[in-house]
């Protein structure tokens, strides 16, 4: 089955700096890689996803890159703001099989 | 269009009691997934259901845990004879089931076993 590892587990940055979270996966059959943001007391919310036929995707200050050969993908947040502070989860898999999540990264953006 | 609704938000049970967690998927969604989030851990897949069918329960403990998604009504995750180790946040997500479409999560049920 799929195994997803996520690093770092905690990340602290100054407001305005960039934040990068990295994930690796093991199952080469995985073709869907979403990222979720979980704010305190809430369920995870999808913020961006990427499919295996795409190497990079951007949405305003958020970007995700995928390297299928190396089996890793990353979340990049530029110009971080305090409201970006949350726990971020990566995931890999397909929705007709179980989606495996990383252990999460707690991002703190200091004003 | 209401999002995924989970209730209750908080549930306290004594050891040995039963816990029933409910998940109403988004309108038009026929696929439901249950995940468990233990403290300081990521989301662990438990079970994947379509209406009236369990598709994949490989992540669900074999004993005390069961899940259903009846033709009418919400999906139910049932935990019998709860133990302290069952204390966690339980999230459900729903989707249309089409491959590679996003799923939407509910706000979760926080189960505390005392």
CB–CB contact A95 B101 (8 Å): yes
CB–CB contact A43 B99 (8 Å): no
Q: What would the pLDDT profile of A79-94 be if each residue is shown by its tens digit?
A: 999 999 998 999 998 7
A33 touches chain B (CB under 8 A): no
Q: Which of B90, B94, B83 is nearest to B107 (CA)?
A: B90
Q: Which of B19, B18, B22 is nearest to B106 (CA)?
A: B22
Which residues in chain A have Cβ-Cβ distances shorter than 8 Å to B45?
Answer: 98-101
Coil vs helix vs strand at B12 = strand
CB–CB contact B48 A98 (8 Å): yes
Number of H helices, E strands in chain A: 0, 11
Confidence check: pLDDT of A28 > 80:
yes
Which residues in chain B have Cβ-Cβ distances shorter than 8 Å to A51?
Answer: 100
Coil vs helix vs strand at B74 = coil
Q: What is the pLDDT of residue A101?
A: 83
Largest Cα–Cα distance of chain A, in whole Å? Answer: 41
Q: What would the pLDDT profile of A55-86 be if each residue is shown by its tens digit?
A: 999 999 999 999 999 999 999 999 999 999 99
Q: Which of B103, B95, B89 is nearest to B19 (CA)?
A: B89
A10's tokens = 């905690």
Q: A84 — phi, psi (to 5°)?
A: -80, -10
Q: What is the pLDDT of residue A71?
A: 94
Q: What would the pLDDT profile of B83-113 be if each residue is shown by its tens digit?
A: 999 999 999 988 876 655 567 888 889 999 9
Q: What is the pLDDT of residue A88?
A: 93
Q: What is the pLDDT of residue A41?
A: 65
Chain B: give the shortest CA distance to residue A101, in Å.
6
Q: What is the pLDDT of residue A95?
A: 53
Q: What is the pLDDT of residue A96?
A: 47
Picking from B44, B91, B100, the nearest residue to A43 by CB comes out as B91
B16-45 burial string, b = 16+ CB within 10 Å, else e? eeebebbbbbbeebebbbbbbbeeeebbbb
CB–CB contact A89 B45 (8 Å): no
Q: CA–CA separation, A110 vs A15, rounded Å?
A: 6
Between positions 75 and 94 of A, the ones with CB within 8 A of B are 89, 91, 94
Which residues in chain A have Cβ-Cβ distances shorter than 8 Å to B106?
Answer: 43
Mean pLDDT of chain A: 89
Q: CA–CA separation, B68 vs A75, rounded Å?
A: 35
């Amino acid at each position: 089955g799929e195994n997803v590892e996520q690093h770092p587990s905690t990340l602290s940055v100054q407001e305005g700096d960039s934040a990068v979270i990295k994930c690796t996966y093991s199952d080469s059959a995985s073709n869907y890689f979403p990222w979720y943001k979980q704010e305190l007391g809430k369920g995870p919310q999808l913020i961006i996803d990427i499919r295996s036929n795409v190497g990079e995707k951007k949405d305003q200050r958020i970007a995700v890159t995928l390297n299928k050969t190396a089996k890793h993908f990353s979340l990049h947040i530029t110009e971080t703001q305090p409201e970006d502070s949350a726990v971020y989860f990566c995931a890999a898999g397909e929705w007709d099989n179980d989606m495996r999540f990383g252990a999460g990264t707690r991002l703190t953006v200091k004003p | 269009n209401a999002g995924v609704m989970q209730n209750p938000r908080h549930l306290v049970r004594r050891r040995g009691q039963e816990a029933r967690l409910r998940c109403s998927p988004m309108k038009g969604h026929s696929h439901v997934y249950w995940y468990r989030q233990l403290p300081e851990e990521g989301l662990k897949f438990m079970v994947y259901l379509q209406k009236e069918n369990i598709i994949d329960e490989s992540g669900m403990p074999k004993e005390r845990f069961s899940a259903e998604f009846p033709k009418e009504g919400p999906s139910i995750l049932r935990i019998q004879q709860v133990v302290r180790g069952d204390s966690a946040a339980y999230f459900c997500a729903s989707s249309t089931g089409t491959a590679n479409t996003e799923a939407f999560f509910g706000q979760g049920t926080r189960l505390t076993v005392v």
